[in-house]
Chains A and B, each alone.
Chain A
Amino acid sequence: MSKLLLVAFSASEAPLGVGFAKALGFPFDILCFGEAPSADLGAELIKVVAITELPPADAIARIIAGQANGYTTLASASSMHAKDAMARVAGVLDAAMVTDVVEVVSPTEFKRPIVAGSVLATVEVLASPLVATFRPSAFRSTNRSGNSPVETLTVDLTSKVERISHSKRGGARPDLSQARVVVSGGRPLKDASTFETIIGGLADALGGAAGATRAAVDSGIAANELQVGQTGKIVAPNLYIAAGISGSTQHMAGIKDSKIIVAINKDADAPIFEFADYGIVADLFDAVPELTRLVKS
């Protein structure tokens, strides 16, 4: 019988897979790293690898591959650690892999964006098992019920890789990929403190996350992990505000699934206005602080 193993790299990631499991239509177990997730997700079994920090990809992949027996599909929400580990799992299992699924056509046919989101491709999977990552924003699901049994696994965490340092930034703002509001800034933001005041200020007023273009990240205006786009984070908030962003294909690839896109750009012909629901032609150094003031009042 077909069965899905939903891999969650933290307890908070586990609920993100419920919608995908429903779309696939298979009964599923959850393999969760960290603490046990809530038991009402509808899984038949929750397997927990109790750790406080994820080991390097070779160890994670070995653990996941070691649990693969009996599953038709192994899937996890797309993220950098998911892509790092799951593609290695596919290599270990010599299994087919599909990255960034946005639609389940059938249990062996999936849609995914390619060429920076310019094209939506259908991929047919010709062998089992399948290893997949999916974009959680495409598989939202809220209704939960059930009470899954939890089993704690004893695993070998040894890795050929030594982690010598780890810097966790982030701070108080919500996680970019999950945030309901994202305020992003581009190249004109000048420097890190201007970015923080202007973009961070509006993000905080809205209780949202801050994001950036590659141009902003490359010029040291914003931190690496804030990059949104084809090669950065994929976001799908309710409200995306782009200030001083031209609207390159690569940036748009990361924001297309946002519900409302607002663009603030001083060039009336900027390509971003072709995608934005609402546009304001203005200098962001006037418009964004004004918006922050109005939101706060």
Chain B
Amino acid sequence: MKILVPIKRVVDPYTKVRPLGDGSGLDTEGAKFEINPFDEIAVEEAVRLREKHGSVEIVAVSIGTSASEEQLRKALAMGADKAILIESDLAFDTLDIANELSVIAKEIRPDLIIMGKQATDDDSNQVGQMLAAKLDWPQATYASKIEVTGGSVDVTRETDDGDETLRLATPCVLTTDLRLNEPRYIGLPGIIKARSKPLEKRTPSQSPNPKTRYTLFQAPPAREAGRKLSGVSELVAVLKERGAL
């Protein structure tokens, strides 16, 4: 079995990010960058599938600047066999990313693509579904459990009002929810050891042709801190006064 795991380099989700003063971008000076948490879960799931089923080849792929090599190294340290960096300084929108990933998927011909349900920087929640459409493969988004049996995959996924289990034939695209698994800890020695694994750099298959473009970044309207109340009876009085009870 072959699994392709697309990963994105994102600003550490525990860092507070603000817009630059002139609104032209995000102030990430000094911030740490990580594998998108959902993608780290995808790598972990792929590694667990190998631990369970044996003979699984895992290829991690990222589209981004040379800095994304760091995140691909981490994926290799977690257990990916091979990494591909599609290196570019240009702006790709979600559709461009899906296009680029579909080219790689057609070349590598994975049985499964496991990827994040959303990138924690743009919060788009689009690329997996777009990629599945471009490949005309079935999809199961927001997976909280993945079981592979023979030529099919059972995926338990979250819906708006509960859970459902879908059975998909391979090849298919799965996107991960936070509760799918808890990624293993990889220390620096593991990352250094992974330096001997292959990381191939390429240029994009075509230049991006974004159909959406970010033009302004602003601070959201601030919520002011209110006041502390003496206790529950004062709260009830205040809420009644405001017509909320």
Q: Which of B221-245 contact A (CB under 8 A)?
A: 221, 223, 225-229, 231-233, 235-236, 238-239, 242, 244-245
Please state if B213 and A116 are interface contacts (CB–CB under 8 Å).
Answer: no
Please state if B138 and A282 are interface contacts (CB–CB under 8 Å).
Answer: no
- Measured CB to CB, the nearest residue on chain B to A98 is B212
B189-229 toward A: CB 8 Å interface, digit per residue (1/0)? 00000000000000000000011111111111101011111
Q: Which of B112-158 contact A (CB under 8 A)?
A: 117-118, 120-134, 137-142, 144, 154, 158
Chain B residues lying within 8 Å of A146, measured Cβ to Cβ, are none
Q: Which of A24-32, A40-48, A160-168 forms contacts with chain B?
A: A160-168
Chain A residues lying within 8 Å of B183, measured Cβ to Cβ, are none
B14-34 toward A: CB 8 Å interface, digit per residue (1/0)? 001111000000100000000
With A96-B212, A125-B212: A276-B231 Cβ-Cβ less than 8 Å: no
Please state if B162 and A115 are interface contacts (CB–CB under 8 Å).
Answer: no
Q: Does A214 contact B (CB under 8 A)?
A: yes
Chain A residues lying within 8 Å of B229, measured Cβ to Cβ, are 278-280
Q: Does B53 contact A (CB under 8 A)?
A: no
Q: A88-B129, A259-B244 are in contact. List 14 more A-B contacts (CB 8 A).
A: A61-B129, A85-B129, A87-B129, A89-B133, A90-B95, A97-B126, A97-B130, A97-B212, A120-B218, A121-B216, A122-B216, A166-B163, A275-B225, A278-B226
With A58-B138, A95-B211, A230-B123: A280-B164 Cβ-Cβ less than 8 Å: no
Please state if B244 and A81 are interface contacts (CB–CB under 8 Å).
Answer: no
Please state if B93 and A170 are interface contacts (CB–CB under 8 Å).
Answer: no
Q: Which 6 A-B pairs have the closest CB atoms?
A: A91-B133, A91-B130, A87-B129, A96-B211, A277-B226, A122-B216
Interfacial residues, chain B to chain A (CB-CB below 8 A): 11, 13, 16-19, 26, 93-95, 98, 117-118, 120-134, 137-142, 144, 154, 158-169, 177-179, 210-221, 223, 225-229, 231-233, 235-236, 238-239, 242, 244-245
- Measured CB to CB, the nearest residue on chain B to A86 is B129
Please state if A114 and B129 are interface contacts (CB–CB under 8 Å).
Answer: no
With A83-B125, A97-B94, A166-B162: A280-B211 Cβ-Cβ less than 8 Å: no
* Complex partner residue of B123 from A56, A57, A115, A261, CB under 8 angstroms: A115
Question: Closest approach, in angstroms, between the C-beta of A263 and any C-beta of chain B?
Answer: 9
Please state if A99 and B142 are interface contacts (CB–CB under 8 Å).
Answer: no
Total cross-chain contacts (CB, 8 A): 248
The 30 sampled A-B contact pairs (Cβ below 8 Å) are A58-B139, A80-B160, A84-B129, A84-B139, A87-B130, A90-B126, A90-B133, A91-B95, A92-B133, A97-B212, A115-B11, A119-B18, A120-B220, A121-B216, A123-B214, A123-B215, A124-B212, A162-B167, A164-B166, A165-B164, A166-B162, A260-B244, A261-B223, A261-B226, A278-B226, A278-B235, A278-B238, A279-B228, A280-B228, A295-B245
Q: Which of A15-23, A66-74, A187-195, A286-294 forms contacts with chain B?
A: A286-294
Please, how many angstroms separate the alpha-carbon atoms of A274 and B227 in the complex? 9
With A161-B166, A279-B227, A280-B229: A214-B178 Cβ-Cβ less than 8 Å: yes
Please, how many angstroms separate the alpha-carbon atoms of A292 and B19 in the complex? 41
Please, how many angstroms separate the alpha-carbon atoms of A154 and B122 in the complex? 37
Chain A residues lying within 8 Å of B154, measured Cβ to Cβ, are 164
Question: Closest approach, in angstroms, between the C-beta of B2 and any C-beta of chain A?
Answer: 19
Question: Closest approach, in angstroms, between the C-beta of A186 and any C-beta of chain B?
Answer: 16
* Complex partner residue of B131 from A91, A118, A230, CB under 8 angstroms: A91
Please state if A238 and B228 are interface contacts (CB–CB under 8 Å).
Answer: no
* Complex partner residue of A161 from B18, B140, B161, B245, CB under 8 angstroms: B140
- Measured CB to CB, the nearest residue on chain A to B236 is A294
Q: Does A218 contact B (CB under 8 A)?
A: yes
Q: Does A79 contact B (CB under 8 A)?
A: yes
* Complex partner residue of A225 from B139, B160, B218, B226, CB under 8 angstroms: B160
- Measured CB to CB, the nearest residue on chain B to A165 is B165
Question: Closest approach, in angstroms, between the C-beta of A78 and any C-beta of chain B?
Answer: 9
Please state if A218 and B166 are interface contacts (CB–CB under 8 Å).
Answer: no
